Amino acid sequence: MRYEARVTAYDVLDKVHVVLNARDTTATETDTVDIVVNVAVTVDGRGTDRLDVWCREALLALLEAL
């Protein structure tokens, strides 16, 4: 069993968009990759100047959407 997850977050105007794609990348005979989780959330931005705070807020928004 092998899982991979990719989180993408970006800030556009006053909105923060966060996307999670998680996959089961276990090698199989057919070599197909199934998406296990696909979640997207958009929240209002808070105008923070600190990158660590921005990341934490984006991840918390994603966590609440799961």
29-65: pLDDT as tens digits: 666 667 689 999 999 998 888 999 999 999 999 999 9
**Residues 6 or more apart from 16 whose CB is under 8 A from it?**
9, 10, 42, 43, 44, 45, 54, 57, 58, 61
Please determine, for residue 27, whether its predicted confidence score (pLDDT) is greater than 70. no
Domain count, the chain: 1
Q: What is the pLDDT of residue 1?
A: 77
pTM of the model: 0.80
Q: What is the pLDDT of residue 18?
A: 97
Q: Which domain holds residue 7?
A: 3-65
Q: Can you spell out the DSSP letters for 2-61?
A: -EEEEEEEEEETTEEEEEEEEEE----SS---EEEEEEEEEEE----S-HHHHHHHHHHH
